[in-house]
Each structure stands twice: as C-alpha cells, then as structure tokens.
Amino acid sequence: MTEYGDPARPGAMPASPRTAGTMFAALYGGPAPQEGRGPDPEHDAYALFHQRSLAMGWHDDRSAGGDPGGTPGAPGLWAVNDAGWDHPLADPGAGLVSWFQAEAGAVAGDRPLPVQPFLRCAWDVTARAGTTSLTAVQVLVPVQGIDTAARPPYAIVPSAPTAGWFAGRSRRARTPVEVEINSGRDPSAPAVAQEFTDRLGRLDQEVFAPGAREGNGKGAAPAPPFDDSFWNGPPLHGAVLRGELAEWSCEAVGWLAEVAAESAAGTGLRSPLLFTVTRAVQRK
C-alpha cells in the first residue's frame, strides 16, 4: 500500500506472472464512508478491499508476490495494489467516496477482463463503510491486456453469456444513464463507441438499451483521480452515449465496461480506456 496522499501507481512485483494491466475504479455518491477512517489500519479501505477479494476467491496471490515464507500463491483475478476513501488528485466537488486499484491477471482466451467482479468488490467495500447510493462509477480498463487474436470464434464477446443475469428485471429497475468512453490522447473514442453500440446490437442482451450518441464530446463524467501519466491522459478524446441500464448497480456497469473493452480492442486500441457511467438526474 502506498503512503497516504501519494498518487497511486501500478504495483506488480517484478518477478510476478504475466498480467493484463492495472484496473482503477472510482465510485462517486454519498454519504461519505464513515467506517475505516480511524487509526486502525486493519479496517481501512485497503484492508477491506484485500479481505473482500480474498473472501470471494478473487485475489491473485501470485501477482502479489505470494507468501513471504515461500509458499506458492493462489491464482485469482487480480492482485490488490491500493485503495482509499479520499484521493489527493480527486476533484473536490466530484463527490468521490472510494477508489480501488488492482493488477488484473492475464486474461484467458475465452474470458473477459474481470471488471464486473472488480466493481462488485469495490461496491461491497464502499457499502460496508456506510455509503448508500452512487451517482457515478468510473473505471480504467487495461485494453492492452486483451489479445484479440487468442479469442475463439465463440468468445468474440466473452461477457455475452453473463448477460442473462440481468434479464427479466422489472421496468422500474431500468435506469437512465450517460456513458462516456474516453481514449485519452488516442483519437479512437468515436470508433470505439460505434463498435460498442454495434456489438451491443448484435447481442441477445437486456443490460443496456442505447439511445442518443455524441461521436465527439464531453459528458458529465468527473475528471479521473489519477495523473495523466498513469494511463494515456489527459482525457482529450471522448464519446458520449445515453440510454437505459437494466439496473443501477456496479455489476451492470462492470458488464458494460467489459463489452466496451472488447470493442476497443477490436478497433486496435492498445492503451487503457476510461469508462464512466453516470446516473441521469430524474426530472419530476
């Protein structure tokens, strides 16, 4: 874990197994977490993130360096790097309530980047600390860790089989959202957004119903709470989509981000993608 107040940095061990790259999640909403802010480090954001990852079998001890005593580490989906409630680089008015950084393990040919469980874990920790609602979910996905050539024909969109979890939700659960796809200094965002909507249209899915799309633009997404050098920033090139999400949950956002990452890789993008979903303000 980095010193409090230091910018987060990727933290894979030099001798660790091959990884896909760094995932970073930032959750916005309220109220601000109350638990885990005391002097006891066993219950801070990092400790809770690590404990929850272990409990669900998601933590990859191999990427984290294994046991100090020399026992081989257990495989998993990611190695915990860092986490916190506040971040020195966050916009003070954005409403950041928590952030999480992990090194994703290498992705199998027929599996997606583990964004859905990563965001689920992030929400479990944030809710445990007292936050009850979210206004936006932002995640940096390591598109460069996807090998499209290794995808078998039946797994062009590896997240497709899990869409059934979100099927059959009541109409009341559907939530208007704004989706912003940002490729940083790479001008690929409009092409990624087009491929994203095309893939969604070909899938048998009820997770997201796309609406209007702005090929180039800036939406309501807050500035990411990390330095431009951390990815391919600054966030110069973005595309905004509006539509309805089957439910307002981190899992639904994670599923959508996995499809966006595959879409980006399909266009040839080889750098991280910043993906933000903001809950639309309901007008009475």
Cα 174 to the center of its chain, rounded Å:
21
**What's the rounded Cα separation, in Å, for the pair 111 and 88?**
34
pLDDT-based confidence at residue 38 (cuts at 50, 70, 90): low
Higher pLDDT, 171 or 41: 171
Token pair recorded at residue 16: 């660790």
Q: In sequence order, what are the beta bridge partners of 243?
A: 177, 210
User: How does residue 2 score in pLDDT terms, banded at 50, 70 and 90?
Assistant: very low
- The answer to whether residue 4 sits within a structural domain is no
Confidence check: pLDDT of 1 > 80: no
Q: Which residues contact 12 (CB under 8 A, 6 or more apart)?
A: 19, 63, 79, 103
- pLDDT tens digits along 59-100: 997 755 545 454 556 679 999 999 999 999 999 999 999 999
263 inside domain? yes
Give per-residue pLDDT as tens, 191-248.
999 999 999 999 999 999 998 887 667 788 999 999 999 999 999 999 999 999 999 9
**Is residue 35 in some structural domain?**
yes
Give domain status of residue 5, yes or no: no
Residues 246-268 have a mean pLDDT of: 98
247 found inside a domain: yes
Lowest-confidence pick of 59-68, 143-152, 252-261: 59-68
pLDDT over 80 (residue 102): yes
Q: How many domains does the chain have?
A: 1
Distance of alpha carbon 51 from alpha carbon 100, whole angstroms = 13
**Contact yes or no for 240/17 (Cβ under 8 A):** no
Q: How confident is the model at residue 145 (pLDDT cuts 50, 70, 90)?
A: very high
* Domain annotation covers residue 284: no
* Predicted TM-score (pTM) of this structure: 0.89
Share of the chain above pLDDT 90, in %: 79
pLDDT of residue 213: 80
Domain membership of residue 126 (yes or no) is yes
The residue count of the chain comes to 284
Q: Look at residue 4 in the predicted model and tell me its pLDDT.
A: 39
Residue 12: what pLDDT?
43
Residue 32's pLDDT is 84
pLDDT class of 250 with cuts at 50, 70, 90: very high
Per-residue pLDDT at 9: 46
- Asked whether residue 11 is domain-assigned, the answer is no
The mean pLDDT value for 117-130 works out to 96
3-state secondary structure 72-130: CCCCCCEEEEEEECCCCCCCCCCCEEEEEEEEEECCCCCCCCCHHHHHHHHHHHHHHCC
Give residue 35's pLDDT: 66
* Six token digits for residue 23: 């995932």
The whole domain housing 266 covers 19-279
**Given a cut of 70, is residue 284 above it in pLDDT?**
no
Across the range 94-111, mean pLDDT stands at 96
pLDDT of amino acid 212: 80
Label the pairing between strands 273-279 and 175-182: antiparallel
What mean pLDDT, rounded, does the chain reach? 89
% of the chain with per-residue pLDDT over 70: 86
pLDDT at 15 over 60: no
**If you ran DSSP here, which 8-state letter would residue 161 be given?**
G
